Amino acid sequence: MLGFSHNFLSNFLFWVTRKRWLIFTFVISLLLFYIPSPTTLTPEGHRTLIIVVIALILIIGEVIPLPAVAILILILEVIFGIDTPNGVSESFMSDAVFFIMGSLMLAVAIVSQGLDKRLALGIIRMTGNKTWRIVFGFVAISAILSSFIGEHTVAAMMLPVALTLVRNTSEDKAVVHTLAKLLLFSIAYGCAMGSIGTPSGGGRNVIMIGYISEFGLGNISYLKWIKYAYPMLILEIPLAVIILWFTFRPEQTILDSAVRKLKIDVTKTGKMTGNQILAIAIFIAVFFGWVFLSPVLGLGIVALIGVFLYLSFGLIEWKDINRNTNWGVIILFGAAISLGIQMKETGAAEWVANLAITGLGSVVQNVDVLHWFISVFLTGVLTNLLSNAATVAVLGPIILDMGGNPIILGISASIASAFAYLTIVASPTCMIIHSSGLVKSNDYLKAGWKLFIMSMAVLFLVSNLYWPLLS
């Protein structure tokens, strides 16, 4: 009996030691729950913010699997009375979730046909085999493509390319863990930066343009947006490469062996087969569907149509999709979107925004700088917690009404919503690379905070020195 008690006590203490962050989260959540809600915040908004705190601590601490965090978010939304079970379900299963799911499935299908190796070889022929040049190529190609066709699409397309180079370097994850992080973050952050380039780069750009027009503050054309945003994108690309290189400096400075293996593998496969040509044709069709049909069908449905065609034509089997798709990432993304919607619906997001405006007003005395700093910093922080579009949707009206030059403030805020560098849930691109299993949640902070500061500095210079010349 004593032996049983001793073993039980030992196991319990071991569990407590391993799960101290989980216990800490539980204690913090209880304290926050019983603190009276601020008079300007609804009880539902108060409880929503508690869920946000819980989720952030668990995600950063990695005390439980991320899919478990996602499931907990959905459970708490119902238990805390924020929404009904059906309401939570509707907010969870959105077109964005369909897109993530379909994109990951399409990536599996592309790999199964060996097309990732051919794409990788095409990029290498442009960049050469030096690692830093490949990184530059990844950032630049991801940024330029995502400015026109959407960051989610590009990330899903580039992921198999990076994984091919990593696998060809070494099958031992311990040997290539730094290289893998370098290449994957080159894609994710390149896509995030590129999304600012044009109105079609992200939904939040269109939302802000709509706000500016509806408020009678002016009309921002497609070309005018490019004039504002693209110079900043061009400046960011080399700076991002430098930051990523010195943050995740790999042992492999030349990927000659990986490139050699890649060339041999592609040569062995011979000419492209009929199935590969059909696979490319379907992907091109999906790509144009994303560009032209997404306003009607949605990005997610277009992606799922592509998956349906791959399965129907026998280009991939369901067991391969089921085995190689990271379902945990899909669940996590859906839960993050659901939480973002609840932040908006309960007024929690607007309360946080107003609180920041009031607080920063006592620190920054220069009115113009204050308005700019609030627009950029607050948007940049919230975009790492909510979706980019939700952040702009919530903060846009507040920012445009705070005074100063509304065009500069509005475009600055929209661009700042692309500073999604700090968390897994910051953007679908961050989640897509996390699906590889080669990056952890704390890896995002290693380079993310440097990119965040760099992007803010570049935006400050561009918006204050260059943009006034355009008016």
Most confident of the following: 135-139, 351-355, 425-429: 135-139
Same domain as 354, residue 275: no
Other CB atoms within 10 A of residue 159 CB: 25
Question: What value does the mean pLDDT take over residues 410-434?
Answer: 86
Same domain as 272, residue 399: no
Q: How many domains does the chain have?
A: 2
Same domain as 388, residue 263: no
pLDDT band (50, 70, 90) for residue 253: confident
Residue 3, domain member (yes or no): no
Same domain as 309, residue 169: yes
Same domain as 232, residue 100: yes
Which of the listed residues 325, 356, 371 is the one where a domain comes to its end? 325
pLDDT at position 11 is 62
pLDDT at position 361 is 59
pLDDT at position 205 is 80
Question: What value does the mean pLDDT take over residues 31-43?
Answer: 83
Q: Which of 117, 182, 128, 194 is nearest to 155 (CA)?
A: 194
Residue 378, domain member (yes or no): yes
Domain limits at 87?
Answer: 41-92+330-470
Q: pTM higher than 0.85 for the full model?
A: no
Residue 20, domain member (yes or no): no
Same domain as 353, residue 243: no
> Among the listed ranges 1-10, 259-268, 319-328, 422-431, which one has the minimum average pLDDT value?
1-10
Angstrom distance (rounded) from CA 68 to CA 58: 10
Same domain as 341, residue 293: no
Same domain as 171, residue 46: no
Same domain as 123, residue 153: yes
Same domain as 276, residue 199: yes
Which of the listed residues 325, 344, 359 is the one where a domain comes to its end? 325
Which of the listed residues 305, 325, 345 is the one where a domain comes to its end? 325
Same domain as 283, residue 356: no
